[in-house]
Amino acid sequence: MVSRRAGPETRKVLQELSQIALNTAARLTLAEYGCSNLEKSLALERRKRKRKSRLVEQVRDAKEREEQEKAQRAREREEAKASKAAETLRKRQERQAAKDARMAAKARKKAAVAARKAAAQRKDDDDDDDDYVEEWQPRRSARQTIGKNS
């Protein structure tokens, strides 16, 4: 496998080196397995390399999948965290609104009680003023009252 990013001359040199390495490995395989044919040995070595490259590719794919899954889990955690924060804020606002409503109801009730007390106090004051005026007015004699009524 030659790097695609390499220039054409570099690729050519790398391919030659790869072929030399393949031939060397084939000769070693030839000696190792006792093959008498260099072509068979080369084919065996190519199969080994293909198998190894497939394994390397599978490992790379597995790592990529793991990374993607890890990133997905991280995104899900962030989304869950944001969702939980929004839910917490919503609940806090609901509790605050309920508290404000209770306080407003309590304030209205206190205001109503204060208004009733003030009205009762004014009524008492008016009654007391009438009594005060009646007590301190000079009393008329029965003749004055009769004369006035006639």
Contacts of 2 (CB under 8 A, 6+ apart): 11, 14, 15, 18
- The pLDDT assigned to 51 comes to 83
Domain that holds residue 57: 8-134
Reply yes or no on whether the pLDDT at 88 is more than 60.
yes
In a domain, 56, yes or no: yes
- CA triplet 2, 5, 10: central angle to 5 degrees? 60
Share of the chain above pLDDT 90, in %: 35
* 91 found inside a domain: yes
Has residue 128 got a pLDDT over 70?
no
Mean pLDDT of 115-135: 72
Whether the pLDDT of residue 56 is over 80: the answer is yes
Domain total in the chain: 1
Give the separation between CA 35 and CA 33, rounded to whole angstroms.
Answer: 5
pLDDT at 4 over 70: no
Q: Indicate if the pLDDT at residue 26 is higher than 80.
A: no
The answer as to whether 105 is a domain residue is yes
Backbone angles phi, psi at 133, to 5 degrees: -65, -45
pTM higher than 0.85 for the full model?
Answer: no
- Residue, of 1 and 57, whose pLDDT is higher: 57
